[in-house]
Structure 1
Amino acid sequence: MDSAMMWEWVGYLASVVVAISLMMSDIKKLRWLNLFGAMLFVAYGIAIQAYPVAAVNFFIVLIDIYYLVVIYREQAASASD
């Protein structure tokens, strides 16, 4: 399998992971799966030199990380009460 074909499959996998993440009712699972899918899209975008794809998905990675930190902090605060 050549490199271009491999990256094409990474793009397909990223699409599937993001689609599955949007079907999650648990927000934590949604954020984790979406984070993974967005990271795959960042790698895909860089590999095929589609820098807008990489940039938007890098921003999504940051958003997912932010909200995961918020979720885990809230859980820690409510557990200590």
Structure 2
Amino acid sequence: MELDELRQMTPADLRVKEREAREEIFRLRLKLRTNQLDNHAGYRRARRELARILTLLSAKTRGEALKEKKAS
């Protein structure tokens, strides 16, 4: 998924994507350990996508917290 697409998502949507990415990583890791995974690059790509999602989710939640703090 493109980074711009992820940036436009709401925190709730990012949490859904996070859960999907974690499930995909789990399936790929299982295939990797049982020698059923042909393309190891997919596992690496999935891990990086999860990291991007978590980074954006963290930034958005911090940004919302700062806005609430300034409003008080």
Give TM-score, length-normalised by structure 1: 0.51
Structure with the bigger RCO (C-alpha within 8 Å, sep 6+) is 2
Rounded to whole Å, the distance in 2 between the matches of 1:33 and 1:58 is 17
Structure 1, unpaired ranges of 5+: 1-25
Where do 5+ consecutive residues of structure 2 fail to align?
A: 1-11, 68-72
Of residues 52, 56, 66 in structure 2, which corresponds to 1:70? 56
Q: Distance in 1 between matches of 2:14 and 2:49?
A: 13
Q: Distance in 2 between matches of 1:71 and 1:58?
A: 20
Paired position in structure 1 for 2:26: 40
RMSD: 2.0
Q: How many equivalent residue pairs?
A: 55
Percentage of identical aligned residues: 5
More helix by share: 1
SS of residue paired to 1:76: helix
